[in-house]
Amino acid sequence: MKHTIEVNGIKIYAFHGCLEEEGKIGGNYLVDVMLNTNFSLAAKNDDLTQTIDYVDINKIVCEEMAIRSKLIEHVGQRIIYRIKQEIKNIDYLKIKVTKICPPINGDVDNVAIIIEE
């Protein structure tokens, strides 16, 4: 059986970017996490310890987003690594890091990276 957990739209103000100004003034980001696991026992027993706690996912994302990176690709890979190291029983993991209103000399709503493992 395939079960999916999503933690979507984690809103974070962070300081990522190649420009010096981005490190000083920061910007808005959204992070989405999707994972496949087996939560059959949790569903049957109504027991949080038998599934993946959304609080843990949010905590990892917030902690990694707080560490400045030039590239959202880099911070995204760090998030993937931490989740895989700290949370067990994940069969598939996908994250999306979206940078809102990037300073790329154009009228662009956002840019995003997606990593799947």
Taking the model in full, what pTM does it have? Answer: 0.95
- Record the tokens describing residue 78, joined without a space: 């760090």
pLDDT of 1 higher than 80:
no
Side-by-side strand order, sheet with 110-116: 3-14, 27-37, 92-100, 110-116
Segment 52-99, tens digit of pLDDT: 999 999 999 999 999 999 999 999 999 999 999 999 999 999 999 999
Measure the CA–CA gap between 85 and 46, rounded to whole angstroms. Answer: 25
Q: Which domains does the chain have, with CATH numbers?
A: 3-116 (3.30.1130.10)
Q: Which pLDDT score, from 0 to 100, does residue 2 have?
A: 87
